Structure 1
Amino acid sequence: MAYSFTEKKRIRKGFGKRPSILDVPYLLAIQVDSYKTFLQADKAPVERENQGLEAAFRSVFPIVSYSGNAQLEYVSYKLGTPVFDVKECQLRGATYSAPLRVLVRLVIYDKDAPAGSKTVKDIREQEVYMGEMPLMTRTGTFVINGTERVIVSQLHRSPGVFFDHDKGKTHSSGKLLFSARVIPYRGSWLDFEFDHKDNVFVRIDRRRKLPATIILRALGFSSEEILGMFFETDTFHLDGELPAFDLIPERMRGELAGFDVELDGELLVENGRRITARHVRALEKAGVRRLNTPVEFLVGKTLARNIVDESTGEVLAEANDEITVEMYESFKENGVKSIDTLFTNDLDHGPYVSSTLRIDPTTNELEAQVEIYRMMRPGEPPTKEAAQNLFNNLFFTSDRYDLSAVGRMKFNRRIGREEIEGEGVLSREDICEVLRTLINIRNGNGIVDDIDHLGNRRIRCVGEMAENQFRIGLVRVERAVKERLTLADSEGLTPQDLINAKPVSAAVKEFFGSSQLSQFMDQNNPLSEVTHKRRVSALGPGGLARERAGFEVRD
C-alpha cells in the first residue's frame, strides 16, 4: 500500500469521473489578507503603499508646532519579532504581539531667519517605541491575554451620495419630500432636503437647516450664476409694440397656452388650452421663430439676470425678481432691448431653487459663511477669518474630510460621471451636481436609492478597523505633541521626549480586547471556527444598534 514519505499516511486517491475545475478557495483570506495589508510587515519602508499603518502615520504627520518653528516628521516604521510564540502566549496568558518602532525626524527652524524664508537650525532623528501591535496567527485569530479572539467583519453604509424620500410620512398631505445625503468615510455629513412648500434646505451634521442656496453663495456663486446652473431661460424681446419671445418648440409641447396663439391670422390654440404635438408641428412647419405675447403673459415671470441701464449703469431689476407692469414700463422707457426669464412649469421644471433664493437672507459669500458659522457654533461671535476657516475645513481639507476611494467611485457613478477616481475631498462642482441630481429626481427624471440594498453597503475588515483605531490614538498623540513642540528648541528635547505612546497603545488594546466586534472564538468544532471568522455583523461602532435596527434592515 502506498504511503506518503512525510507523514506515513495513505495517499488519497480520487475516483471521480470528472476533473476538478475549481480549486477550493482559501476561506480565511478575507481576514488574513486584510491584516497583512494593514501591517505591510514584509515590505521595505520605501515600497509600502499608502494604506493601513502607513496611511495612518502619513495622515497625522508632519506635526507642526503652533509657532511654526518646529515640526515632527514621520520617516518609517518597523515591527520587531514577538517575544513568545502563539503556544507560549496561550500558556502564559500573554498577548501575541510585536513591538512597533517608528523612526521620526524633528526639524527645528531658525527663529531669527528673515520673514518668508525658513532656515533649518537643527535636525534630530530618533526611533520611538509606539507600543505593542497584536499579530494575527496563521489561522486568522488573535491571541489576546492568552485567549484566542476573532475580529468579526462589519457591514456598514458605504460612503458616497444617496437619494431618498420620506415615503410621505412627514407631512399630513402624504407628499413625498425628497432628500440627498453625502456620507464621507471621515468628516461631516451634508444633507439636502425639500420641505412641503418645495423649498430646498441644507443641513450639516444633522444640525439646524438653512436654505440650500446659502451653501452655494458660500462657495462663491452669485444669484445669476445659481439661477444659470439650475434653469433654462426664455428670451423676450421688448423692441416691438408687444413683447415677443423666442419660440422653442420642445418646451411648448404639453404646456397650457397663456394667450391666444395665432398662425397666419387664424386662431391655432385658444387661451387656457393645452398645446399638443400637432400645434407644435404646425408652428415649426410655418417657420415661426417668435411669438408676440400680451404684457399680462410676461408679468409674473422671474428674471434670470440683472437688468442694467447701459447708459447710466443703474440696476433696474435684479435676478430672481418677479416682473411687474411697472417694471416692464421702466424697461421700455430705459431702452432695454431684451430680457431673459426662467423657464419653469408644473410638470418637469419646478421653480425650487428660485423660491429658495427668495427666503435666503444672505447676499454675498461672506454673509453666507457667517450664517453657516452661526449654525455650527451658536453663541460664538463670528469673525471673517473664523467663518472662512470653518467652512473650508468642513468639506475641502483632507485632514478633516475623506470620501475614500470607494466613496469617490460610488459618488461619481451616482451623479453620472465617467471617471472612477478623484480627490477624497468635495469640490464646488460635486455639491452643485448633488443638488442638480436631487432637483431632477423631484422633477420626475430619476429614481431614489434603497439604503438597505447590499449594493449600498460595504464590508469593513479587521485591517481597516484596526487602522481607524490606530489613527484615533495618533490624533490624541498629535494634540499632546503640538503643545510640547514649542519647547523643543529651548529645552533641547528629542523625539522620544515629545511622543508619549500611551494613547496609541491604549486605543489598540481597547479595540482588540473589549470592542463589540472582538469576540471569543467559537471553538466547538473546526467548522464553527471558520464560520465565526467569516461572519459579517451590522453591529459595532459606526454600525447599527440592536435597539434601533428596524424590519427593513433585518430583511
Structure 2
Amino acid sequence: MRNLSGLVQRKSFSRISRVLDIPDLLSIQLDSFNEFLQLDKKPEDRENIGLEQAFRVIFPIEDSHNTFALDYVSYSIGKPRYSEKECLERGITYAAPLKAKLILKIAEEDAEPGVYSESIEQEVFLGNIPFMTNRGTFIINGAERVIVSQLQRSPGVFFNDARHPNGSILYNARIIPFRGSWVDITTDIFDAIYVTIDRRKKFPVSILLRAVGFDSDYDILKQFDVLKEVNVSNKIIGMTLVQSILNPDTGEVILAAGVSEDDRVVLEASHVQTLKEAGIKKIEVVDPDKEIDLKLLANSIRREKDKMDPDRLAEGGPNQEDALFYLYRNLRNGDPPNLETAQKFVEKLFFSPKKYDLGEVGRYRMNKKFNMNVPLDNTVITPDDFIYIVQHLIKMRRGDKLSDDIDHLGNRRVRTVGEQLANQFSIAFTRMSRTIRDRMNIHRAENLTPQELVNSRIITSVINTFFGTSQMSQFMDQTNPLAELTHKRRLSALGPGGLTRERAGFEVRDVHYTHYGRLCPIETPEGPNIGLISSLASYAVVNRLGFIETPYRKTRLKDGKVYVTEEVEYLSADDEDRSVIAQANAPLNKDNSFALDVVKCRKGADYPAVPPEKVNYMDVAPIQIVSAAASLIPFLEHDDANRALMGSNMQRQSVPLLTPSTPIVGTGMEGIIAADSRAIVVADTDGVIEYVDANKIILRPLEGFDASVSLDENEGRHVYHLKKYQRTNQDTAINQRPIVRKNQVVKKGQPLADGTSTNKGELALGRNVLVAFMPWRGYNFEDAIVLSERMVKEDIFTSVHVKEVELEVRETKRGSEELTREIPNVSEEATKNIEENGIIRVGAQVQSGDILIGKVTPKGETDPTPEEKLLRAIFGEKAGDVKDASKRAEPGTSGVVIDTRLFVRKGKESRRDEKIKIEKLDNELTRRLAALKGKLTRKLLGLLEGHACTGIYDKG
C-alpha cells in the first residue's frame, strides 16, 4: 500500500479494510501524454498510436505525376530549451523541439509507379511541441493551462427509434466514424429501408448493398436468411416463391417469380406437380417466420426503379453497375466518365483507410454489437457490416431488439489529452501535405530536399491555436491543490464534436446507473453546465480504447461457499451489465465469505437481493462511487445530495491560509490528495536527510550510493528545490516549507515539505474552529456570522496573495520613455525605496498610492505657461520636458515586494548584464574544477599510498 499517511497520527474507525490503493489521481493526464509521445520506446518499437499514428496515416506523400514520394521514418523529441521556472518567469511556452526523419524518393521520368532511382534522407525540424509538466499541466505563454478530457459519443453504430406524427415508429441506424462519411439507415412509414450519406438525398438500401457487392435480388435476400431450402412435396403448398425456377437441363423458366408483391408466386398443387415433372427435388421458398424481413427488403428493392436512370437499367433489373453509377451521381452531382471511376469513388468512400476510419474503438464496438471477429486493426467498414446493421434494424422492426441507450457509458468514451493532440497533429499534417504536393509539382528534382518541402509553421500555427483558443484548453484553476487536481480530472461533454448547453436535454445531464464507480454523481457545477461537466470517480481509470473502467473484487465458489478474493478486475460499463455486484459494505465473515444468506446487489439498473452463489463481484471500497473532492467530506452518506454537491464545489474555492491546520475529523483521503496533486514534496526513495533549509532539501539514498566514487558534491543525492512565494493563476501564493530535520531517516513516499494548503503532508483547506449555534443579539441573523477578536489577532484565517504589476517602457514620437528615480514634482520621501533603475527594492513595505516603478515620458512641445516658466527657472530644463508616468500601488493595496524583474531587448545594457553573468559562471566553473581536481588528487593518494612505483607506463 502507498505510504501517504502524512505525519498526522489518525485513528481509523472504518469497518471496511481497503484492499486496493487509489491509483495516481493524475494518471488520466500523465499516462495519456506519455502514450501520445511514447518517449520510453525506441523509434522502431513504437506502437501505431498517438503521434506515431498521425505520421503513418499521412505519409507517404506523393505528387500527381508519381515522380516524388516523401516518406516518414521516425521522429524524435529534444529537451526543452528553458526550464519550467524560466518559462513561468519570462512568459514563454514550455516546449520541446519535434524533429522527424524523412526520406524523399525520386523516380526517373519513364519509371513504373513505385520504382525510385534516388533517395535523400534528412532530419527535419517540425516546430516546438508544448511539453507536459510532471503536474499534468502545460505552460503556455507563462501561464499554466490544462487540457480537459472530453466525454463524447463513441465511434461505431447507434440504433434508435422515433415516433412519426401518424403514430408509426421509425427505426434508425447511424454509423459514426472517426473520419469519413456519416451513414444513416432508416425505415419509413411504408416499411421500406432508406440510406442517407452525409445528409444528402436518401435512396433505397438495396442500391447500397448492390454497390458493395451483392449484385442480384437473390444475393440480397440470401444474406438476410429470408429463404429456406425445402423438399418439393405437397407440404410446400401455400408457401411463397420469390425466385424464378429454371429447368436444370434446358435453362427454360419453369416457374417465373420475383421479389415485388405482384411477382411473388404462392405455390399451389399444380405448381408442385410441374416441379415434380421437371425432376426438381428441392427449391428455396420464403421462410414463414421472415415475412416482415421480406416485406422491408422487397419494398426497398421495388423503390429502386424510381431512383435509377431508366436508360441505364439492365434487362434483368438493377445490378451492381447501375448502383455504382447512381451513388456517384447522387453524391458528386454529375455522371461518372466510366464504371472504373464510379467503382473507385465508392471504394474511397468506405474502404480506403485514408478516407474512412472507424478507429480501433469503432471496430471494437461493431465486433461486440454483432458478435464478429474482425481484427481491430481493420478500421474500414466491410460489406458484412452493412448486412449486420440492416439485419439489426429489421429485428428492431420485428420487436426482437431494443434501441441503444445513448447515455450508457458503453456508448460514450473519453478523449484524453493525448488523443486530442494526435487529432490536432493529423489536421496539421493534412494541411502540410497539400503545400508539400504543391511544391513537388513546382520544383525540379535536382534541387529538392525534404527540408525544402516541409513548412513547420503550419504545424506550429495549428498547435498554438489549439492551446490558445480551444474550448478544451483551459486556464488552470490554481486556487488550492484540490481545485488543481479536480480541474485535471474533469470530464466535459461540451466542446468540438460534443454537446452544446442549449441543445442538451435533461436525460444527458441526469445520473445514469453506469456512472457507478466511473463518474461522480455528486460533483458537477450548479449553473447551466449541470450534468455536462463531471468528475472522474476516485478509483476510475480510462482504458486504451477510451472507456471508463472501475475495479471490483472477484468472488470464488469453494466447497459450497462463496468467498470474496483479493483479486481485482477492472470492468467497463458493457462488461458490468452482465454481472451481479455486491456492495462494499456487504457483511463478510473472517474467512471473507458472505455472512448473510441473501446479499443486496446491483445488476444493471436493478438492485436485487440474491443468494451468495449468484454474486460475481464486490465493490472495492465505499468511496469508489464518488470523486476525490466529494471523498473529503466526512459522513458523506448522511448529507443531503444537493448540499454535498455545494460542499464539494466550495472546497475548491478555499484560499490557502498563512497557518494551515489539518482537519480533526478526516476521511483518509487528505494525504493521498496532497501527494497526488504534487502540492507537497515527497521522498523518491528511502534515505537520510543530509541538508535542509528554506530553499532546498538534499537526501542521500540508503541503497546504491557510494560517496567515494562521486566527484560532484551532489552526484547520486536527491536535491529538492522548494518553491518560495510563487504566484499562481488566481494570485494565491505557493510556498513550500520543509517538515524534516537534518540526519532524519525517511521512507519512500514520505512528505519532506508542505506546500500550499497542506499541513504535515495532508490537505488542510480550512481551520478547526469552535462553532456555537446560538443567537447573539441579532448580529448573526440569517446567514450572518460573528467572529471572535482572537481569530483576527492570531491570523487564523489570514491568507497571502501575490500580485504582479507590469509596466512597459516604449519609444514614443516625442522620444524615449525612461525608468528613473528622478521623477518631476515628487518628494525624496516618496522615492526613498526606489532604486537607481527606477524599480522599487525587494523587501520594501508598500501602501496604496506608493510608487512601484518610476517612469518619465517626454512631453509635447507647447508654449509654456507662466507657472511652467517659473518651474524651469528653478529646477532647470529637465523638469519641463518630461512628465510623471510612474506605476503606483492601487487603492487598498498593502504588502511587501518579494521580487522584481527587468526585461530588456538585446542592446548595450543587456549585453553588459550578460557579460557579468558569464563572468560569474566562469568563476563558479573554475572553483568547481579546482575542487574536483583536489578531490581526484586525494582519491589517487588514497589508492596509491604504500605502493611502489615501477616507472611511467605511458608518456603520451
TM-score over 0.5 for the pair: yes
2:362 & 2:399 partners in 1: Cα distance? 26
Q: CA deviation at 1:323?
A: 2.4
Work out which of the residue numbers 443, 447, 451 in structure 2 matches 1:496.
451
1:500 & 1:336 partners in 2: Cα distance? 75
Q: 1:318 to 1:503 in 2, by over 3 A?
A: farther
1:452 & 1:24 partners in 2: Cα distance? 27
Q: CA deviation at 1:529?
A: 0.9
State how 1:248-327 maps to structure 2 within 5 Å. Answer: 293=237, 297=238, 301-303=240-242, 305-310=243-248, 312-315=250-253, 317=256, 319-320=258-259, 321-323=263-265
Q: 1:346 to 1:473 in 2, by over 3 A?
A: closer
Q: CA deviation at 1:349?
A: 5.1
Deviations 1:275-320 (A, max 9, x none): xxxxxxxxxxxxxxxxxx4xxx46xx441x3322445434563542
Work out which of the residue numbers 510, 513, 528 in structure 1 matches 2:468.
513
Work out which of the residue numbers 234, 251, 257 in structure 2 matches 1:244.
234
Work out which of the residue numbers 20, 31, 34 in structure 1 matches 2:32.
34
**Identity level (%):** 44
Q: CA deviation at 1:71?
A: 0.5
Q: CA deviation at 1:526?
A: 1.3
Work out which of the residue numbers 187, 202, 208 in structure 1 matches 2:180.
187
Work out which of the residue numbers 160, 165, 171 in structure 1 matches 2:161.
165
SS in 2 for 1:137: coil
Q: 1:430 to 1:369 in 2, by over 3 A?
A: same
Q: 1:343 to 1:129 in 2, by over 3 A?
A: same
1:325 & 1:374 partners in 2: Cα distance? 41
2:221 matches 1:227: yes
Greater gyration radius: 2
2:81 matches 1:83: yes
Q: 1:542 to 1:341 in 2, by over 3 A?
A: same
2:7 & 2:502 partners in 1: Cα distance? 54
The amino acid of 1:554's aligned partner reads R
Partner of residue 128, structure 1: 124
Partner of residue 60, structure 1: 58
Contact in 1 for aligned 2:106/2:445 (Cα 8 Å): no
1:540 & 1:138 partners in 2: Cα distance? 26
SS in 1 for 2:414: strand
Q: CA deviation at 1:195?
A: 0.3
Contact in 2 for aligned 1:180/1:438 (Cα 8 Å): yes
1:346 & 1:225 partners in 2: Cα distance? 16
Q: CA deviation at 1:433?
A: 1.2
Contact in 1 for aligned 2:157/2:173 (Cα 8 Å): yes
2:424 & 2:393 partners in 1: Cα distance? 35
Deviations 1:398-433 (A, max 9, x none): 111122222211111111236773511111111111
2:203 & 2:485 partners in 1: Cα distance? 50
Q: 1:459 to 1:237 in 2, by over 3 A?
A: closer
Q: CA deviation at 1:488?
A: 5.1
Q: 1:41 to 1:207 in 2, by over 3 A?
A: same
Work out which of the residue numbers 395, 406, 411 in structure 1 matches 2:366.
411
2:416 matches 1:423: no
1:202 & 1:358 partners in 2: Cα distance? 15
Q: CA deviation at 1:178?
A: 1.1
Q: 1:354 to 1:524 in 2, by over 3 A?
A: same
Contact in 1 for aligned 2:325/2:336 (Cα 8 Å): no
Partner of residue 197, structure 2: 204
Q: Which runs of 5+ in 1 are unaligned?
A: 1-9, 247-292
The amino acid of 1:37's aligned partner reads E
1:375 & 1:382 partners in 2: Cα distance? 15
Q: CA deviation at 1:489?
A: 4.7
Partner of residue 145, structure 1: 141
1:331 & 1:204 partners in 2: Cα distance? 48
Partner of residue 106, structure 2: 108
Partner of residue 48, structure 1: 46
2:13 & 2:224 partners in 1: Cα distance? 66
2:140 & 2:449 partners in 1: Cα distance? 33
Q: CA deviation at 1:331?
A: 9.8
Contact in 2 for aligned 1:200/1:352 (Cα 8 Å): yes
1:498 & 1:138 partners in 2: Cα distance? 35
2:432 matches 1:442: no
Q: CA deviation at 1:341?
A: 2.8
The amino acid of 1:313's aligned partner reads G
Q: CA deviation at 1:63?
A: 0.8
2:408 & 2:379 partners in 1: Cα distance? 24
Deviations 1:447-470 (A, max 9, x none): 221112222100000110010011
Partner of residue 300, structure 2: 356
Partner of residue 535, structure 1: 490
2:386 & 2:373 partners in 1: Cα distance? 17
The amino acid of 1:59's aligned partner reads V
Contact in 2 for aligned 1:487/1:493 (Cα 8 Å): no
1:50 & 1:329 partners in 2: Cα distance? 61
Q: Which runs of 5+ in 2 are unaligned?
A: 1-5, 309-317, 511-956
The amino acid of 2:141's aligned partner reads N
Q: 1:356 to 1:302 in 2, by over 3 A?
A: farther
Contact in 2 for aligned 1:473/1:507 (Cα 8 Å): yes
Work out which of the residue numbers 421, 428, 447 in structure 2 matches 1:473.
428
RMSD after superposition: 2.8
Deviations 1:236-294 (A, max 9, x none): 877xxxx8234xxxxxxxxxxxxxxxxxxxxxxxxxxxxxxxxxxxxxxxxxxxxxx4x
Q: CA deviation at 1:530?
A: 0.8
Q: 1:421 to 1:121 in 2, by over 3 A?
A: closer
Deviates most, 382-391 or 133-142? 382-391
The amino acid of 1:306's aligned partner reads S
Contact in 1 for aligned 2:328/2:334 (Cα 8 Å): no
Q: CA deviation at 1:336?
A: 7.6
1:31 & 1:380 partners in 2: Cα distance? 50
SS in 2 for 1:130: strand
The amino acid of 2:65's aligned partner reads S
